[in-house]
């Protein structure tokens, strides 16, 4: 993110980018896609909540700022009414009335709009700087160093400490101190007013220092809060052991992909996987060996999948991959690559059983797709494991049990089963 915003907004984008990086880069946009980040569950809700929180915060702060400015104008007008024979009263009345009118218009028009815009910090900073300049102008018109209006310089500085990041606080404070110094330096009667000026400048500098320190502490606290929030959200969406999406994250992304595929009539494939021999690994090598095996499976699935594929762990030894534009041949090819990566040279080193299904028609859904893949996985495990069964709809339903089938991707070991394709991954 390259726009001015509070640390909360930055956390959302950093979280989305980190999750996208750990899952793999997103696929290129296709016709009908929108320029949105594919975020795991919680991220959309967090972003929406953060945006609402930030918008509400800035709306409240901007309204407070305007009420403070209107109160300042009212104080100036009261002072003018109490001292009608002072110098430049008409000019000061015009300035104070203009500030009141501008504040009322901004309160009902500008503030609700800028609270949700990226330029809100710049707008608020410009408003505070302008307040310092106007304060300097009315002070100079009223008699410079002898005017009691010089005490109003502290108001924008104090408010900046409650609302702005440290750099903006420093700019506001520097403007206020500089404007007050300029008014004092151009007054020929400064010698007689120096004790009061010394006190005023001491108070102004102290408030500027306190405001900067408060802003710095608040920013650091917010950054730490955002870091912890990001870590919590990451743990909720990324399986710590395997690096795959959690089931909740997987389902949310998959629902969106299924809806997109149905809408644009694109193919979609779903593979469910189960580690065949995890219990034996746990029994012989302990649970640490089982954890290492699961971590290896998760890493392999993420490495073997394409950019844009959605890889998740459902808990225990069960994994799933959703493949946009996926076809049965592609699922079988992916299963072979995963098999060879997990068991190089040793067929039973670490094997998986695979159940695949494809999106058949507009009546299909993620639930139907998962049920088809789950039935295929059950068949694969019941038929000897270490193989893939793909349910690919009516195109093969009438094929006899285990009849020969054309080779896929140059392989000669593919068998066909009723309701789909059954491939023994161990044959080469």
- Tell me: do 221 and 270 sit in the same domain: no
The answer as to whether 1 is a domain residue is no
Q: Which of 268, 296, 297, 278 is nearest to 381 (CA)?
A: 278
The full 3-state SS of 316-347, as one line of letters, equals CCEEEEEEECCCHHHHHHHHHHHHHHHCCCCC
| pLDDT score at 91 | 92
Last residue of a domain, one of 184, 207, 235: 235
- Tell me: do 86 and 215 sit in the same domain: yes
The answer as to whether 367 is a domain residue is yes
**CA-CA distance, 39 to 25, in Å (whole number)?**
12
| pLDDT score at 193 | 72
Element (H, E) at 82: helix 43-82
Last residue of a domain, one of 235, 256, 275: 235
- Spell out where 92-164 has E strands: none
pLDDT in 10s for each residue of the chain, 428 residues:
333 344 333 433 443 444 444 444 333 333 333 333 334 333 343 444 444 445 577 777 777 777 877 888 888 889 999 988 888 999 999 998 998 888 888 888 877 777 677 777 788 888 889 989 999 999 999 988 888 888 889 988 988 888 888 999 999 999 999 999 998 888 777 767 777 788 889 999 999 999 999 999 989 998 898 888 888 877 788 888 999 999 989 999 999 999 999 888 899 999 999 998 888 888 888 889 989 999 999 999 999 988 889 999 988 899 999 999 988 888 888 888 888 888 765 555 688 889 888 887 656 788 988 988 898 898 888 877 788 888 876 443 222 223 333 333 433 333 333 344 545 555 44
For 206, the domain range is 7-235
**CA-CA distance, 268 to 258, in Å (whole number)?**
7
Find the DSSP H helices in 83-189: 89-105, 111-114, 120-141, 154-163, 166-185
For residue 376 the two structure tokens come to: 């295929």
| pLDDT score at 216 | 93
Q: What is the dihedral of CA 388, 391, 394, 397, to 10 degrees?
A: 50
Neighbours of 416 (CB within 10 A): 18
Last residue of a domain, one of 235, 269, 302: 235
- Tell me: do 194 and 294 sit in the same domain: no
* 387-391, strands of its sheet edge to edge: 310-315, 318-324, 268-275, 352-358, 387-391, 420-424, 414-417, 403-404
The answer as to whether 166 is a domain residue is yes
The answer as to whether 219 is a domain residue is yes
| pLDDT score at 278 | 86
**Angle, CA of 86, 91 and 97, to the nearest 5°:** 110
The answer as to whether 417 is a domain residue is yes
- Tell me: do 175 and 126 sit in the same domain: yes
Q: In angstroms, what CA-CA distances link 285 with 26, 189, 343, 353?
A: 37, 90, 17, 21
- Tell me: do 278 and 370 sit in the same domain: yes
The answer as to whether 184 is a domain residue is yes
- Tell me: do 189 and 45 sit in the same domain: yes
- Tell me: do 37 and 97 sit in the same domain: yes
Are the beta carbons of 162 and 206 closer than 8 angstroms? no
Element (H, E) at 372: helix 366-382
**CATH, residue 387:** 3.30.70.270
| pLDDT score at 76 | 87
Q: 79-116 burial, b for 16+ CB within 10 Å, e for fewer?
A: bbeeeeeeeeeeebeebbeebbebbeebbeebbeebbe
Are the beta carbons of 328 and 270 closer than 8 angstroms? no
**CA-CA distance, 167 to 125, in Å (whole number)?**
10
- Tell me: do 222 and 88 sit in the same domain: yes
Backbone angles phi, psi at 339, to 5 degrees: -60, -45
Q: In angstroms, what CA-CA distances link 49 with 170, 230, 258?
A: 30, 14, 26
- Tell me: do 170 and 304 sit in the same domain: no
The neighbouring-strand residues paired with 310 are 322
| pLDDT score at 410 | 37
CA 370 to chain centre: 29
The neighbouring-strand residues paired with 423 are 388, 414
Quote the pTM value. 0.54
**CA-CA distance, 270 to 261, in Å (whole number)?**
12
Backbone angles phi, psi at 309, to 5 degrees: -70, 150
- Tell me: do 259 and 385 sit in the same domain: yes
Q: How many structural domains does the chain have?
A: 2
- Tell me: do 256 and 328 sit in the same domain: yes
DSSP track, 246-276: PHHHHHHHHHHHHHHHHHHT--EEEEEEEET
The answer as to whether 317 is a domain residue is yes
- Tell me: do 231 and 154 sit in the same domain: yes
For residue 167 the two structure tokens come to: 């750099």
The answer as to whether 197 is a domain residue is yes
């Amino acid at each position: 993110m390259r726009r001015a915003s509070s640390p909360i907004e930055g956390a959302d984008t950093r979280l989305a980018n980190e999750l996208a990086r750990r899952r793999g880069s997103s696929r290129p946009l296709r016709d009908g896609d929108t320029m949105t980040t594919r975020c795991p569950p919680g991220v959309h809700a967090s972003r929406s909540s953060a945006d609402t929180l930030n918008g509400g915060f800035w709306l409240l702060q901007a309204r407070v700022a305007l009420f403070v400015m209107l109160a300042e104008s009212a104080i100036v007008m009261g002072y003018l009414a109490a001292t009608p024979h002072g110098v430049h009263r008409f000019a000061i009345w015009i300035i104070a009335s203009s500030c009141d009118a501008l504040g009322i218009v901004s309160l009902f028009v500008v503030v609700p709009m800028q609270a949700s815009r990226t330029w809100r910090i710049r707008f608020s900073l410009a408003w505070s700087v302008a307040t310092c300049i106007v304060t300097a102008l009315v002070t100079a018109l009223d008699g410079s160093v002898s005017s009691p209006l010089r005490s109003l310089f502290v108001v924008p500085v104090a408010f900046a400490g409650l609302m702005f990041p440290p750099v903006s606080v420093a700019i506001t404070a520097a403007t206020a101190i500089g404007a007050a110094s300029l008014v004092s330096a151009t007054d020929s009667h400064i010698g007689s007013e120096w004790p009061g000026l010394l006190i005023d400048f001491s108070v102004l500098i102290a408030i500027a220092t306190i405001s900067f320190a408060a802003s710095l502490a608040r920013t650091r606290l917010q950054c730490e809060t955002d870091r912890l929030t990001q870590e919590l959200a990451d743990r909720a969406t990324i399986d710590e052991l395997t690096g795959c999406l959690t089931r909740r994250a997987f389902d949310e992304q998959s629902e969106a992909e299924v809806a997109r595929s149905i809408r644009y009539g694109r193919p979609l494939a779903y593979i469910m996987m189960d580690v065949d021999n995890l219990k034996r690994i746990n029994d012989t090598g302990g649970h640490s060996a089982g954890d290492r095996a699961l971590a290896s499976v998760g890493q392999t699935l993420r490495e073997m999948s394409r950019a844009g594929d959605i890889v998740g762990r459902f808990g225990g030894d069960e994994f799933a991959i959703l493949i946009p534009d996926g076809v049965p041949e592609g699922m079988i090819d992916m299963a072979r690559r995963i098999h060879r990566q997990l068991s190089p040279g040793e067929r039973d080193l670490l094997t998986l059983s695979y159940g695949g299904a494809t999106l058949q028609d507009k009546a299909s859904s993620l639930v139907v797709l998962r049920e088809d893949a789950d039935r295929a996985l059950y068949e694969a495990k019941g038929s000897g494991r270490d193989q893939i069964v793909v349910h690919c709809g009516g195109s093969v339903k009438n094929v006899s049990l285990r009849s020969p089938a054309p080779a896929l991707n140059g392989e000669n070991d593919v068998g066909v089963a009723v309701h789909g394709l059954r491939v023994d991954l161990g044959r080469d």
